[in-house]
Amino acid sequence: MKFATCHPDRRSYAKGLCSACSLLSRPGAREARRAYRKAHYVANRERYIREAARWAKENPEAKRAAKQAYYSRNKAKSVLYKHARRAYVAVASTHCTTPTEASIRALLAKPCAYCQASPSESIDHIVPISRGGLHTLTNLVGACMHCNLSKGNRLLYSEWVPPVSERWLYAVRWEEKAA
The 10s digit of each residue's pLDDT in 25-79 is 788 888 888 898 999 999 999 999 999 999 999 999 999 999 899 988 988 888 8
Q: What is the pLDDT of residue 167?
A: 55
- Listed in sequence order, the residues at least 6 apart from 147 whose beta carbon sits closer than 8 Å to its beta carbon are 112, 114, 115, 118, 124, 162, 163
Tens of pLDDT along 64-90? 999 899 988 988 888 878 877 777 777
The answer, as to whether pTM is greater than 0.85, is no
Look up residue 14 and give its amino acid: A
Residue 88 lies in a domain: yes
Same domain, 114 and 61: no
What is the domain range of residue 126? 99-167
Tens of pLDDT along 105-146? 888 888 988 888 778 888 899 998 888 888 788 888 999 888
Nearest of 18, 14, 15, 20 to residue 4 by alpha carbon: 18
64-68, Cβ contacts within 8 angstroms, sequence gap of 24 or more: none
Q: How confident is the model at residue 170 (pLDDT cuts 50, 70, 90)?
A: low
Same domain, 146 and 161: yes
